[in-house]
Amino acid sequence: MKISLQEIHSNYEGFSRLIQLATQTAGCFLDDIEIDMSHVGWIDANMCAPLGAVLYMVGRDINSIRLTNVPASVETILSKNGFLCNYGWTRKNDIHGSTIEYKRFEPKDDRYFADYIEKQMIGKGIPEMSPGLLKKFRASIYEIFSNSVIHSQTKLGIFSCGQYFPRKHRLDFSVADLGIGICSNIRERRGLTLSAEEAISWALEGKNTTKSGPIPGGLGLKLLREFIVKNEGRIQIVSDKGYWELSEGTVKKRAFSEPFPGTIVNIEINTADAKSYRLVSEIRSEDIF
């Protein structure tokens, strides 16, 4: 089977193309799958996370995957972040330190994930981020990973990748899983039947949670949303057929014609944000409980 891929940006069209790839390859078994990249003039490097998730699923069904005609500029960036190492390329040195490596984690790899984030964030340094912002950003990434581990029920892993765009003062980071998706989770655990995009909205609002066991939950995505609004960044969430985006204070919701086989959370941070993340009023430890 030969599939031609197009440019992939972090937007509705980019996610649509990855869903199309997942749909085209679903059901392939013991097949030779050539992905022709000659029309991929650009790929936002963070989108390697959902692309890697789709290709991992294809590879699990014992298909051989060949990426062909990769344009030189795309090859350079995807060799620097380690994505192409999975498909027969060797790694290239990232002398500018602008990539956050592509990785796949098992759900139990939380310590390994933390180590990866500390090395990628602190080891390389994101020079213009204030310490308060960096702390919030790291915490947000950990919230996304924890959310995937707790809610996705994935056995196929969690995929992550990021890219720092110094001239735009933006840092994009994506986490993708191949789990049951937000919509099914809400239906199974809360008995609510919502469209996929409304299900994402539900998960980000008020005190909503699908948790039912002894450990409370439901805060992670709300904290992420609050931070991104203050930072004037962007969140995009794709789950099943749903697309949800928060950017410049506005929420956009759309549906895809086919589902993504899991959930993708992409955050874009405004790294030039000089706002203080210190609290306005002091909280006393005696007043917590």
Q: Which residues bind other proteins (CB under 8 A)?
A: 110-111, 114-115, 118, 132, 135-136, 138-139, 142-143, 145-147, 149-150, 207, 209, 211-220, 223, 277-279, 282-283, 285-289
3-state secondary structure of 273: coil
HSE (side-chain half, CA atoms, 13 Å) at 173: 23
Residue 31 is encoded by which pair of tokens?
A: 């097949």
CB of 215 to other proteins, least distance (A): 5
**Would you say 95 or 215 has its CB closer to other proteins?**
215
Terminal Cα distance for the chain, rounded: 60
3-state secondary structure of 70: coil
**Would you say 116 or 260 has its CB closer to other proteins?**
116
Find the length of the chain: 289
Residue 177 is encoded by which pair of tokens?
A: 């899983």
CB of 145 to other proteins, least distance (A): 8
3-state secondary structure of 71: coil
**Would you say 39 or 135 has its CB closer to other proteins?**
135
Render 117-131 in DSSP notation, one character per residue.
HHIIIIIT--TTS-H
The rounded distance, in Å, linking the Cα atoms of 192 and 197 is: 13
**Would you say 197 or 273 has its CB closer to other proteins?**
273
**Would you say 73 or 276 has its CB closer to other proteins?**
276
**Would you say 59 or 132 has its CB closer to other proteins?**
132
What lies within 8 Å, CB to CB, of 172 at 6+ separation is 10, 44, 45, 46, 162, 163, 165, 266, 267, 268, 269
The rounded distance, in Å, linking the Cα atoms of 130 and 261 is: 36
CB of 277 to other proteins, least distance (A): 7
CB of 88 to other proteins, least distance (A): 34
Q: Which amino acid is at 189?
A: R
Q: Which amino acid is at 190?
A: R
**Would you say 90 or 212 has its CB closer to other proteins?**
212
CB of 199 to other proteins, least distance (A): 20
DSSP state of 28: -
CB of 97 to other proteins, least distance (A): 21
CB of 115 to other proteins, least distance (A): 8
**Would you say 62 or 223 has its CB closer to other proteins?**
223
Q: In degrees, to the nearest 5, what angle opens at C-alpha 140 toward C-alphas 138 and 143? A: 115
CB of 121 to other proteins, least distance (A): 10
> Over 164-185, what HEC string results?
EECCCCEEEEEEEECCCCHHHH
